[in-house]
Amino acid sequence: MTTGDAPVLRMSEVDLVRDGNLLLDAVSLTVRAGEHWALLGANGAGKSTMLSLLGAQVHPTRGRVEVLGRRLGRVDLRWLRTQLGHVDPRHRPGAPLSLLEVVLTGVTNTVEPVPRWRPSDAQLARARRLVDDLGLRHRVDARWPTLSQGERGRALIARALVAEPKLLLLDEPATGLDLAAREQLLESLDALRHTDPWLSTVLVTHHLEELPASTTHAALIRAGRLVAAGPVAEVLRTEPVSACFDHPVRIDRVDGRWTARAGRSVAPARC
């Protein structure tokens, strides 16, 4: 169930060609306010390429992409990127910043603090509140190199949210996390989606176990084409997922979370 009908993202018949290679082929997708999408596919299927379009990092070769109502190619990308939250677990500040300093770089959308820039009282208060909400108060002054992978993951979510975006993009946020850290991250995402019902999210992964229970919609991508997209109950089923990954798997959902296991008796449908 969504909390609004306003389109936050809209891709219409989008192709993306790089060095003569067709990376995305006639992709169409609409994400509305309050929807939480999972984008799944095998390695090399085009997930990160698609996320780069949604994050206003690249332009489509053909077709139309609208982000927050602004069409790529007709909007200042630098401004648009400040309206988006992007969680990339590969984020690496060059200096040994504190956790709070890293979160505050989300206000300026930079890797390092901007010289002579100081956050307003309201920005600092929001940063500290997000740190608290994500269970990191006790590490607020800890230096980035001393943080665990799980703590870094949650800190990057706070960084992405500090500028109050309407859209949050998560690029395999559970990468490198152990079981406990992954569960803490997913619990944080579930709580966030509850407290901010108008926020829209797109989470890229190739592991169904890494999806929060609050996920509302899913899209399956294979060889640059969307092979299924819609509410999770329709998409995250045995047959579509087996077809997408070209391997028989059995999909189960228990207590809101998904698992995938080899299912030799499942014959994948043709995409």
| CATH number for position 1 | 3.40.50.300
Whether 79 and 170 share a structural domain: yes
Q: Which of 146, 164, 182 is the last residue of a domain?
A: 164
What per-residue string of b and e applies to 105-133 under the rule 16 or more CB within 10 Å gives b? bbbbbeeebeeeeebeeebbebbbebbeb
Given pLDDT bands bounded at 50, 70 and 90, which one contains residue 3?
A: very low
Query: Is 251 within the bounds of a domain?
Result: no
Q: Which two tokens stand for residue 4?
A: 């609004």
CB 127 within 8 A of CB 103: yes
What per-residue string of b and e applies to 143-155 under the rule 16 or more CB within 10 Å gives b? ebeebeebbbbbb
pLDDT surpassing 90 at residue 81? no
CA distance 192 to 200: 11
Average pLDDT taken over every residue of the chain = 89
Query: Is 61 within the bounds of a domain?
Result: yes
Whether 12 and 146 share a structural domain: no
Q: Which of 110, 129, 164 is the last residue of a domain?
A: 164
pLDDT digits (tens, 9 = 90+) for 201-233: 999 998 999 999 999 999 999 999 999 999 999
Whether 8 and 120 share a structural domain: no
pLDDT digits (tens, 9 = 90+) for 113-138: 889 999 999 999 999 999 998 889 99
Whether 171 and 211 share a structural domain: yes
Q: Considering just the CA atoms, what is the radius of gyration of the chain in Å?
A: 19
Query: Is 41 within the bounds of a domain?
Result: yes
Tell me the β-bridge partners of 168.
85, 201
Given pLDDT bands bounded at 50, 70 and 90, which one contains residue 268?
A: very low
Query: Is 263 within the bounds of a domain?
Result: no
Whether 31 and 146 share a structural domain: no
pLDDT digits (tens, 9 = 90+) for 28-41: 999 999 999 999 99
Whether 121 and 17 share a structural domain: no
Whether 26 and 51 share a structural domain: yes
> What is the secondary structure of 120-180 as a DSSP string?
-HHHHHHHHHHHHHTT-GGGTT-BGGGS-HHHHHHHHHHHHHTT--SEEEEESTTTT--HH
Query: Is 122 within the bounds of a domain?
Result: yes
CB 162 within 8 A of CB 106: yes
Whether 55 and 183 share a structural domain: yes
Given pLDDT bands bounded at 50, 70 and 90, which one contains residue 56?
A: confident
CB 218 within 8 A of CB 37: yes
Whether 187 and 198 share a structural domain: yes
CB 68 within 8 A of CB 243: no
Q: Which of 148, 164, 180 is the last residue of a domain?
A: 164
Whether 173 and 102 share a structural domain: no
pLDDT surpassing 70 at residue 57? yes
- pLDDT at res. 251: 94
Shortest CA distance to 156 belongs to which of 183, 136, 138? Answer: 136
pLDDT digits (tens, 9 = 90+) for 137-146: 999 999 999 9
Average pLDDT over residues 50-70: 91
Query: Is 247 within the bounds of a domain?
Result: no
Report the predicted TM-score, pTM, of the whole model to 2 decimal places.
Answer: 0.87
Domain range enclosing 149:
96-164
Query: Is 268 within the bounds of a domain?
Result: no
Tell me the β-bridge partners of 30.
10
The number of domains in the chain is: 2
CA distance 211 to 234: 16
> What is the secondary structure of 75-130 as a DSSP string?
S-HHHHHHTEEEE-TT---SS--BHHHHHHHHHHT-SSPPTT----HHHHHHHHHH
pLDDT digits (tens, 9 = 90+) for 84-101: 998 988 888 878 899 999
Query: Is 184 within the bounds of a domain?
Result: yes
Whether 176 and 67 share a structural domain: yes
Whether 127 and 138 share a structural domain: yes
